[in-house]
Structure formats: C-alpha cells, structure tokens
Amino acid sequence: MLEQIQDSIREQQVAVAAKILQSRGVDIEEVKRKLAALEVEVPSWGFARAGTRFAVYTDGTEPQTMQDRLAAAGLCHKLTGSTPGVALAIPRDGEDCDLILQTLKAHGLKAGAINSDSFNPRQAPLDYRLRWGSLTNPIPEVRRAALDHHLGCVAMMGKLGSRNFSLWLHDGTNSAGQLSLFEQSRLLEESLRELTGALSGDQQIFVEYKFFEPGFYATAIADWGWAYALATKLGERAKVLVDLGHHPLGTNIEQIVSNLQILGKLGGFHFNDKKYADDDLATGSVDPFQLFRIFNVLVEADFSGLQKIGDVAFMIDESHCLKDPLEEMIEAVDNIQRAYVLALSVDRKALKEAQDNVDAELGDQILKNAFFDTPANAILQSSRLERGLPADPLEELRASRSQQRSQTATR
C-alpha cells in the first residue's frame, strides 16, 4: 500500500517537473537521457575508513583489502548505475594487474584513473627522505626512485586499460632557505617531461594543484595557473585537474573551470566539499549551490560546443571519516547527479536574453529558480527506475543491510 502511494506521488511529481521544464524550453526526456550518460568515477580508497589528522576510527566493518574495496565499489555501481570506473591508488591497491583486472571484471567495473603515491614512505630510497619531496627532491637517488614509481604506474595503465594518470605531488618547502624556487621548478618540469613522454595511445596526464599542505611555504604546483603552464609545456597529453578543496576560501572555482575550458586544458575534477581548508567532505554536503554553479558552467560550455560534458573526467576524492564510507559515496554521487539535473534545467534562452540586456536581477532569478524550484528528486528517481535501478540507492542499501542483520539475528 505504501509503495503504491509513493509511486503515485512520484508520477505526479514527474508530471509537474515535466511542465516546469517545458515552460523553460527544456525537454525532461533529454535531461534524463543526459543524466543516464553521466559517469562518475569513484576512488577505491574512498570505500575504506579515512582518518582525521589524529587517528583513523575503524569499527571493523570497513573494507581492508583491494578486493573488498572493489566489491564495495561494485555495489555502489549496482545501486547508482553511474559509477563503472574506479580510480586506483598504487601501491595501495597492489601491483598485480591480473588480480586487479580479475576483481574489477567480477564486479562489473573498469579501471579508472591511476593515482601514484610518492608521499608515503616505504623501503629505501623512498623512505623518510621523501619528506624533502618526490619529483623535486634534491637527493638524486630519491628523485629517480620517485620518477621510476610514476613510470611504473604508467606501465600499469597500459595493462589495466586506464586512460588517465592523476598526478598529485606533496612536493614543497616550508622555508625560503630549504630549496631554490628556480631549482624546484626545473626539477619538476624535467621529471614531468620524462613522465609524459612515457604515455601512449590516448593516455593523458592530469596535473593537480594545491596551494598548501604539506608544503606551507612554496608548494611545487600551488595553483591552477602554474598547473596550466606546466600542462601547456608538456603538450596535448597534459591537462589540469580541479580539486574543489584545493583553493583558498572565497575562490571562484567556476571561473577557473571556465578559464581552463577556454584554454582547452580542463581535464577533470576531484569532487569533494570544504568548510575551512581541504576538508574532503562529501561533495555538495556543505555548499550544494557552488556545485550547481560549477555544473552550470559545464553545461553552458557543452551547449556552446566549447567542451562536451563527456570529455570531462568526473572523479570523487573524499575522506570518509565519520559516516559509513559506502553510504557517503552514494550521497556524493547523488549530489553530483542532482547538480547536473539542476544545471540542465536552466532556461538558457531566457538567461542569455537577461545577460544581453544587462538585467542582472533577472539572470540571478533564472539560476535560482532552476536551483530551488526544479523537482530534481522526481527527475532523478524517474530516470533511475526507467533504467532498472532503485529510486533511492541509499535507502535501498540501508534496507538491504537491515534485512541482512535480521536474517543473521534469527539464525
């Protein structure tokens, strides 16, 4: 009885949504088609319990191995229908390509971006001396070993069928006397040229930037401008990766996105959210309007022919410290999908006319109407049901887990 009532309410809401979108010159079926085509890449490490700066509070339910993490990723894709690609971290996820491929295939997944790790110390020469950096380390044997690790990741890309190499470096200095800024730049460019030269086929490298942490004086790739400059020097295979948490407070991220698209160098995103610094919270959990504004720029670029949505890599990179990692991952996917639906629901013709007529108030109202007044939930749930997916993936996960606990308790 309850399900019939919910279905009836949903049908009414979808009908209302269709009329609202039609009044804006938007076809609801086209919105659902584009939504169904959107793929969001999830990180293997995001299904484990992450830590605060002080500790990792595990309760024993978190996936511990690569196989367990990919199994959780498979369940995420089964429930959302939108996350077939999984970003892998090397060496955390191991270096046995056959085992990784076998596990991915078993869960209906594919290899996403490969992420190197030259910041966690291990055996020499990649030991405690990594404190001085990786690709800009002034100690030649450490720098060479770090570069060899990155080249090994590129070799794995070919075996795993991965197209994208996601590069984040912890390199930086904490004081002016630690390393010449000119030497830091020289070593970085020299290393990146060798790394990019190892790519083949349609492989590409995404250069990520971060204005601080752990380098508090001069981070090697501190902002989007230097990341763009490096990507330009490195050629067509190099693009810029925008992590939503890697900006000073108040930064206009959507303007950075549009600038990179104009320059032809936007590679993709690491989605998360922040309140103070690089908090790595679930994307859209703190500022969903910012996420909407970013997608509004992406949709405008798509409609204008500047860059297709499908040519942008949408990747999640979050730190699931408190909530259940799988649940928070599904929440993040849902928030990204919602922002995309809302951006697709903007009355583009009316917005263009308002902007051409310098009617700032009307332009703002058009965007706010799309954000606040669009029945996004009805559109999302309708789209999912039409694809054989649960209307609410998080609710479905919780119901399944509750049933499993009940069955276990009665045995």
Residue 262 three-state SS: helix
**Tell me, what's the pLDDT at 405?**
81
Q: What is the DSSP letter of 164?
A: E
% residues pLDDT > 70 (the chain): 99
pLDDT in tens, 119-176: 999 999 999 999 999 999 999 999 999 999 999 999 999 999 999 999 999 999 999 9
From residue 287, alpha-carbon distances to 205, 212, 274 in Å are 29, 22, 8
Identity (one letter) of the amino acid at 34?
Answer: K
Query: Please, are residues 20 and 375 in contact by the beta-carbon 8 Å criterion?
Result: yes
Residue 280 CA neighbour count, 13 Å, CB half: 19
Residue 233 three-state SS: helix
Which H or E element spans position 114? Answer: strand 110-115
- What the block records as the tokens of 198 is 């190892």
Identity (one letter) of the amino acid at 333?
Answer: V
Long-range contacts made by residues 9-12, C-beta under 8 angstroms, separation at least 24? Answer: 10/378, 10/381, 10/382, 10/391
**Tell me, what's the pLDDT at 148?**
98
What is the C-alpha to C-alpha distance for residues 136 and 184, in angstroms, rounded to an integer?
Answer: 6
Beta-sheet strands, E only, within 296-339: 313-316
Those residues of the chain that have pLDDT short of 70 are 1-2, 411
pLDDT in tens, 168-222: 999 999 999 999 999 999 999 999 999 999 999 999 999 999 999 899 999 999 9
DSSP string, 337-381: HHHHHHHHTS-HHHHHHHHHTT-HHHHHHHHHHHHHHS-HHHHHH
What is the C-alpha to C-alpha distance for residues 164 and 154, in angstroms, rounded to an integer?
Answer: 9
Residue 355's nearest CA partner among 347, 363, 365 is 363
**Tell me, what's the pLDDT at 1?**
67
Query: Please, are residues 209 and 260 in contact by the beta-carbon 8 Å criterion?
Result: no
pTM, rounded to two decimals: 0.96
What is the C-alpha to C-alpha distance for residues 125 and 108, in angstroms, rounded to an integer?
Answer: 38
Please state the domain extents for the chain: 38-335
Residue 24's nearest CA partner among 392, 245, 344 is 344
Query: Given CA atoms 307, 308, 311, 315 in this order, what sign does their dihedral have?
Result: positive
Query: Please, are residues 86 and 109 in contact by the beta-carbon 8 Å criterion?
Result: yes
What is the C-alpha to C-alpha distance for residues 382 and 374, in angstroms, rounded to an integer?
Answer: 14
Strands 313-316 and 110-115 come out as: unpaired
What is the C-alpha to C-alpha distance for residues 389 and 162, in angstroms, rounded to an integer?
Answer: 27
What CATH code would you report for 38-335?
3.20.20.150
